[in-house]
Structure formats: structure tokens, C-alpha cells
A and B are shown apart, each in its own frame.
Chain A
Amino acid sequence: MATEATHGAEMAEHGADAGGLVFHPMDQFIVKPLFGDGAVGMFTITNVTLWMAIAILVITGLMVLGTSRRAVIPSRSQSVAEMAYGFIYKMVEDVAGKDGLTYFPYIMTLFMFIVVSNFLGLIPMSFTTTSHFAVTVVLALCVFLTVTIIGFVKNGASFLSLFWVSSAPLALRPVLAIIEIISYFVRPVSHSIRLAGNVMAGHAVIKVFAGFAGLALISPLSVVAITAIYGLEVMVAFVQAYVFTILTCVYLKDALHPHH
């Protein structure tokens, strides 16, 4: 804590040297050890650990404690949990089909983790775990690998017909196959960068506007802009979780029904 104070003092000093405005929009994404001041190893308890633990607590609180009364007429938290359940259940059923419902718990896990992490990241001074590519790439790779394995296990070699567009003219099919294969392997990249990029950009923009608040003249404008971007970020937090989940469902549908 003491070192943090000195860091703050240094930053202020640093900023004062630079001429009044302090911009450190990326500092909010720094991974720090929670106890002590050492290097960040693989098993170090960091702010990542803290905020993922809080996410687990929130999910448990909502989905387990919130539904503990099992009321036929639901309480407020129980109806939120039921709404989340129904929302994702219907999404999986509509997009991936009835046989996709086997994988509903996995998709629910992804959605709950991302949406709760995104919203926790909107709390001032918090750490946004989903703003890191390390996190979203793991999530996207899990989806990519699982979906590919499911595709081959369920369909065997005929899963490759996903890349062979039988509705196109024969001459075009090899070209389309190359494009389809490239787009298939780009999926985890776009899948992960879309989420982390959106979350990171919004948080960084808020920090930049917050930096402008140091000037008395433009501080009202800065506060208004922060408020507006914050509202946008609340929407982005949900929409990106939704997009990540529905894309997972789409990929799952491709794996279960690869024939165009």
C-alpha cells in the first residue's frame, strides 16, 4: 500500500513535469500481485485472481443463492437467474438446434463468466479480466478446439464438407474451400480480439477523458463525455458477451450440421 502511495506521488510529479495533463489510460490493465510487490509468476495471487474470484462469487450468488428458495413465483434475483437461463437456453436451441442443448452448460459458463466480468470491470477502480487477450484468447481457443473436436467426432471426415460449398459452381469450389479454411482458422482470432478489443478500448477512452478532467476549463465536458461513454460501455459489456456467446452457438451449429 505504501509503495502504491509513492507510485501515486511519483505519477503526480511525473504529470506535473509533463505540463498538467496526466494520461495513463493503459495503467488500469496492469496485472499486480495482490500481496507484496514481487514479480508476477504463474501462481501469484494477483488482481486477476481477485476479480475472477469476485466474478465466481457474483455468479454463485445470482445462480445458486438467488434460486435457493426454488419458488414457483420467483423473487427478483431468481427471475434474473431464470431470465439468463432462458435467454441462453433459447439461443442455443434456436441457433445450434436441439442437439446443441447437450453443450448448454458450457455455453452458459462462457456467457455468465464474460457478462459478469464485463460488468465488474465497469466498477470504478476495478480490474477488467476480459480486457486481456490472454483471457479472451483462451476462451476463444477453448471454443475453437471443442467445436472442431465435436465436428470430427460427430461427423467424421464428412465434417470437411463444411469447407466444400456444394451449392457453388464446381470451378469455384476449390477457391471457396481455401477461403472457407482461412476464415475457419481466423475465427478464434476475431472471436477473442472482438471481445478484448471492445472492452479495452472503452475503458481506455474513459481514462483518456478522465485525464482531460484535470483542466478546469474542459472538465465539465470531460465529465459529460465520461458519463456518455460509460453508458455506451454498459451496453457494450452486455452486447459483447452476447456476441461471443451467439458466435459460439454458430460455430457449434457448424460442427453439428456441417452440410450447407
Chain B
Amino acid sequence: MATEPIAEELAGTCVDSHGSAIGMPQLCADWIPNQVFWLVIALVVVFLVLSRIALPRIASVLAERRGTITNDIAAAEELKRQAAEAEKAYDKALADARAEAQAISQKTRDEIKAQLDEATAAADAQIAAKTAESEKAIAEIRASAMENVELVAKDTAGAIVAALGGSADAATVSAAVGNRMKG
């Protein structure tokens, strides 16, 4: 309690003997110069720090970022353009290849058709020749068969005449048979 008067004296008119504020400390005139002095110093320091170092740095970072973003967008557009070009080239190559393939297949088809036609014609000719040959052979066979029939008929007729007790020479019989067969 001995310190009370000293504290009161030193603290001025704004603090009571218990160290509590008398009224509003905001209105204590004793403290105003101190606050104003330190405030001015603080504001000057903050202003210098911000305007000399912080704000230019942040501005440059933001500008750099904006530049980077703009560049990236430009690069992306360039890549997109290249991709579109590549796609166009691919489409063109594909169309070309398809046309070529069609041409090749058409040509091959034509060739095969020509070969086929040729082979068919050859086969037809062969078949016709074979047919003619066969027909000729058949005609020969038929002719020889008719000849044989006449011969057999003459022999048989001669034999039948002899068996019936007649007698006839071979020339008569064959002439008679020949007449019959003609008639």
C-alpha cells in the first residue's frame, strides 16, 4: 500500500489509485501525444514497406502470372490448331488410301474377270471339240452297229432258209434282206 501514492502520481490523472481507468481512457489527454507519435511512425514504416517492397513485388507477380496464363492459352490454341491440321491430314490420307484401295481392288477384279473369261472361252472350245469328237464316235458306232445288224440279219435269214429246207445262195438272201431293210 506504500506504493500507492507514487503510482498515482506517476500514472497521471487518468488512472485511479487501484490502477483502474477513470472514465474513458480514450479521452485521456495525457496519452494522446504518445499515441499520435507512435502511430505516425508506424504508418510511415508500413507505407514504406508496402510501397517500396511489397506492392511492387505483388504487382510483378500478378503481372507475371497473367503473362504466363496468356502465353499458356496462346500455346494451347496453337496446339489445338496443330491438332486440327493433323486430323485434317489424317482424314485426307485415309480418303486417299481408301480411293487407292478401291482402284486396286477394281483393277484386280477386272483382271480376274478377264482371266476368267479367257478360261471360260478355252473351256467352252474344249468342250465343243470334245462334244464333236464324241458325236462322231457315236455316229461311227451307230453305223457299225447298223452294218452288224444287216450282216446278222443276212446270216440269220440264210440259216432260217436252210433250216426250212430251202436252198438259196448267199447273194439272193443278202439282196432280199437288203431290200427288206431298205424298205
Contact = CB atoms under 8 A, between A and B. Distances in A.
B32 interface: yes
B54 A11 contact: no
Interface stretch (A40-48, A165-173, A242-250): A40-48
Contacts of A86: 62
Contact of B58 (A10, A56, A67): A67
Given A82-B61, A106-B47, A131-B26, A26 B21 contact: yes
Given A26-B21, A39-B10, A56-B49, A46 B38 contact: yes
Contacts of B50: 59, 63, 105, 108-109, 112
In this complex, the member of B10, B24, B40, B58 whose beta carbon has the largest number of chain A beta carbons within 10 angstroms is B58
Contacts of A56: 42, 45-46, 49
Contacts of A71: 61
B14 interface: yes
Interface footprint category on A: 35 or more
A46 B14 CA distance: 15
Given A109-B43, A134-B31, A29 B25 contact: yes
B178 to A, nearest CB: 127
A217 interface: no
Contacts of B14: 30
Interface string B52-67: 0111011111101100
Contact of B27 (A14, A42, A67, A133): A133
Contacts of A59: 46, 49-50
Interface in B1-20: 3, 7, 10-12, 14-15, 18-20
Contacts of B181: none
B30 A10 contact: no
What 8 pairs across the A-B complex have the smallest Cβ distances? A63-B54, A7-B19, A29-B25, A105-B51, A52-B42, A42-B33, A31-B31, A134-B35
Interface of B: 3, 7, 10-12, 14-15, 18-21, 23-28, 30-43, 45-47, 49-51, 53-55, 57-62, 64-65, 68
8 contacts: A11-B20, A46-B34, A53-B42, A63-B58, A109-B47, A113-B42, A134-B26, A135-B36
